[in-house]
Structure 1
Amino acid sequence: MADMTASSSEPEASVQETPISYVKTKKGLVLATEVVLSLVVLICNAVSASWWAGTGNICAMIFSAAYFVIFVMELGKRFSATVLQWLCIGDLIRAVLFSKFYLISSLITIGLMVILHLYLRHVDGAGIAGVVFSVIASLVYAYDAYTIGLQLRSSRQTTPNAAVYQCLA
């Protein structure tokens, strides 16, 4: 009876250790930070006057979480080299796209908050926090895009398939 309990808890421990060990890597930390920052910006924008920016935050959070799950479960290593290349290129496009989105939405939100303050004398604290976290998220996504680009460029010069597998690391 004790053996059954011990053996049934071992797979759970390995499943729990996989995300934690992946978050300790540089790529895992960046992806986890992107998901958390997207959630924080979503919450800040939901309670502020800039609620309209929540749609993009939801998309950013879903795509970042999807790539996080793909990389944690190592699902990308089960595909062919062509699919892996598109997975890495998709990760690069995701990082560039959402970096620009967060920067543009924070600039628009700043403009709307200035207008709101000038005409209505209303200060939106949650909106200010959302802008600050949006700028931080934009920098994290830009850093992710930069590191993905460096990995693809450096490993592409050696062997084409090495770029793909290095992107998943």
Structure 2
Amino acid sequence: MTNRNKAKGDKYERDVLEVARRSGFPWAERTRPGRREDQGDIHLCPGVTIQAKDVATPDWRAWLTQLEQQKRAAGMPHGALVVKRRGAGGRPPLHLAVMTLDSLLALLVDAGWGDADAIPANPPHCFVCHRDDPPPRPHGCGPDCHTTDADQELADTIAREGDHA
């Protein structure tokens, strides 16, 4: 990574941190860079880590895999990617919070908005195909999982058509 890209990434982390603090998370803090185990960029609140991304071409699959590894390293059950989508035609940039559906539902259950008793003791790897048998990958799904195909389709669509915000 060039110094210019690092500076851009560091600035975006500071921007995200500032927004988080203004939005009711005064104790949010940046993690220390250069740690042996990456724990994400920002610890938003107990149990939630954020990975900030300001790049022209998204790599959703790799980023979601990295996010899962960062959550484990930080000992946090929840995490999100915060991705800056550049504006076009004079429009301001769009800041997206991205996580898998399983992660969103787990976060909402932990926040008290779901029925934790309704969650099966051994949920399937994939909420779409309900397969229990694919070999696990870092994000929990097998190589033929519909979830990974949907993630790639979303990434391809956004790259091809833009965010149309």
Q: Fold-level match, TM-score > 0.5?
A: no
Structure number having the greater helix percentage? 1
Higher RCO by CA contacts (8 Å cutoff, separation 6 or greater): 1
Q: What TM-score, normalized to structure 1?
A: 0.22
Structure number having the greater strand percentage? 2
Larger Rg: 1
